[in-house]
Amino acid sequence: MPISVGMSSARGALDDVSFPAVLSAAKDGEGWAVEQLFLDLQPRLLRFLRSVEPAAADDLAGEVWLAMTRGIGRFNGDLPGFRAWVFTVARRRLADHRRAAGRRPTAPAESEFFQELGGSSDTAMDVIDRLSAQAAVDLIASSLPEEHAEVLMLRVLGELDVMRVAEVVGRSPNWVRVTQHRALRRLGDVLDRAASEEIAGIL
């Protein structure tokens, strides 16, 4: 079951029923259909890129859209498959950028979201589900190793199931399940520590 967060359902957001018609119209160059795709994907794409490469996120998103424009005519599949394709393109552009820049990835280290939150992997899932999409991304990116964070962000932002995430990252579904479990357990530990420190500060 995919992880969900309180993402605003922007006007024009896609769903499984409307997607085939929107995809067909976008392939035909219809502006309204391209706008529908943009409204659904751009916020997710930017949040993902800003969490892993904030300084270059806008430029990378532009490169992803250019690649999508060139490749959309060859895409066949459903909405989850389309989102998986977009995030696959984004990861490739990100890898190209990092190779060209010759540096290691960096991640933001914000901690404002730890206050009044507490423990265990089940609670971590509850916290992610309650937060806005941006707050969830910031919490995940600041708390977890890159591979763990990426898996959760693909589940949260892409709304991808385990099989789709496995396709995007080039790993087995079992690896994705294990990584997700470890990520949530680690996130739960972080929330436990933050709650303990908050209590200690009050006493």
pLDDT class of 10 with cuts at 50, 70, 90: very low
Q: Domain-by-domain residue ranges, the chain? A: 19-101, 112-202
25-41 pLDDT per residue, tens: 999 999 999 999 999 99
CATH topology of domain 112-202: Arc Repressor Mutant, subunit A (1.10.10)
Give residue 112's pLDDT band: very low, low, confident or very high (50, 70, 90). very low
Four-residue CA torsion sign, 143, 147, 150, 156:
negative
Residue 188 near residue 120, CB atoms below 8 Å = yes
Q: How far is CA 162 from CA 10, 14, 66, 151, in A?
A: 25, 21, 27, 9
CATH of 19-101, picked from 1.10.1740.10, 1.10.10.10, 3.90.1310.10, 3.40.30.10, is 1.10.1740.10
63 class by beta-carbon count within 10 Å (0-12 exposed, 13-18 middle, 19+ buried): middle
Of the chain, the end-to-end C-alpha distance in Å amounts to 40
Write down the pTM of the prediction.
0.73
DSSP state of 12: T
DSSP 102: T
Give the tokens for residue 194.
Answer: 């933050």
